[in-house]
Structure 1
């Protein structure tokens, strides 16, 4: 089961706000795609939250775009920022990336973001959202959300 960003934000608004905040804190993040042989490929990426969707934009014929065209599964890790301070923690989003060719949808994105052109645009369908952080300098807390399931919280000492 997959859902778009708006459905996730409706189901878990507090977590969605924290995830957007973490991705908004820095420009570049890490995208993981699958190579033809199934091994992971990591790439830098900028993301946008617009109109209830999490968007991934990429240069034309970039390896990550070609990977997603072949196998849409992805994982996206927020930039943790400088230094050793864990701050509000790390967030990861996993799912499927669906390429958008519709001129109207792509045009609205271009108007809002003004990306270099040409480019590939992918809309995400989420299968998992994870936030990991340290609480009270004692506990590692992991929040895991999956479509159709309640938010699961695990604390480890």
Structure 2
């Protein structure tokens, strides 16, 4: 089961706002994809939230685009920022990337974002959103959301 960003944001607005704020705090994040041999590849990427979707745009014929075209599974880790504060916690999103081939959708994205062209554009289908943070320097809190279920919160001391 998977959901787009809007479905997640509607189901869990507070967590969605926190996650989106963490991604918007920095431009560059880390995308994990799977190479042809199944081993992981990590790459820098910009994540874009617009029109109820989480978009991933990338250079034409890049290795990460090739990876996603072959196997759409991904994990996206928000940039933790400088130092050790990680305001808002550590957030990551997992799911599948669906390449956009519709010229109208791609054209609208290019018009709004003005990325270098040509490009690959993927919209995401979320399978998991996770936020990890520390409370009072004593508790580690992990929030996990999966489509069709409420947020599950785990606390560890």
TM-score, length-scaled by structure 1: 0.99
1:135 equivalent to 2:135? Answer yes
Aligned match of 1:43: 43
1:107 deviates by 1.0
Q: Distance in 1 between matches of 2:9 and 2:136?
A: 27
1:104 equivalent to 2:104? Answer yes
Aligned match of 2:122: 122
Aligned match of 1:63: 63
1:85 deviates by 1.8
Q: Distance in 2 between matches of 1:87 and 1:17?
A: 14
Q: Distance in 2 between matches of 1:10 and 1:85?
A: 28
Q: Distance in 1 between matches of 2:142 and 2:67?
A: 29
Work out whether residues 86 and 134 of structure 1, in 8 Å CA contact, stay in contact via their aligned partners in 2.
Answer: no
> Any idea what SS the aligned residue of 2:115 has?
coil
Q: Distance in 1 between matches of 2:37 and 2:138?
A: 41
Aligned match of 1:8: 8
Q: Distance in 2 between matches of 1:125 and 1:47?
A: 14
Count matched residues: 157
Aligned match of 1:145: 145
Q: Distance in 2 between matches of 1:64 and 1:8?
A: 25
Q: Distance in 1 between matches of 2:112 and 2:136?
A: 40
> Any idea what SS the aligned residue of 1:44 has?
strand
Write the deviation string for residues 26-58 of structure 1: whole angstroms up to 9, x where unpaired: 000000000011110000000100100000000
After TM superposition, where is structure 1 displaced by more than 3 Å over at least 4 residues in a row? none
Work out whether residues 36 and 67 of structure 1, in 8 Å CA contact, stay in contact via their aligned partners in 2.
Answer: yes
> Any idea what SS the aligned residue of 2:92 has?
strand
TM-score, length-scaled by structure 2: 0.99
Where in structure 1 are there 5+ consecutive unaligned residues? none
Q: Distance in 2 between matches of 1:80 and 1:139?
A: 19
Where in structure 2 are there 5+ consecutive unaligned residues? none
1:119 deviates by 0.3
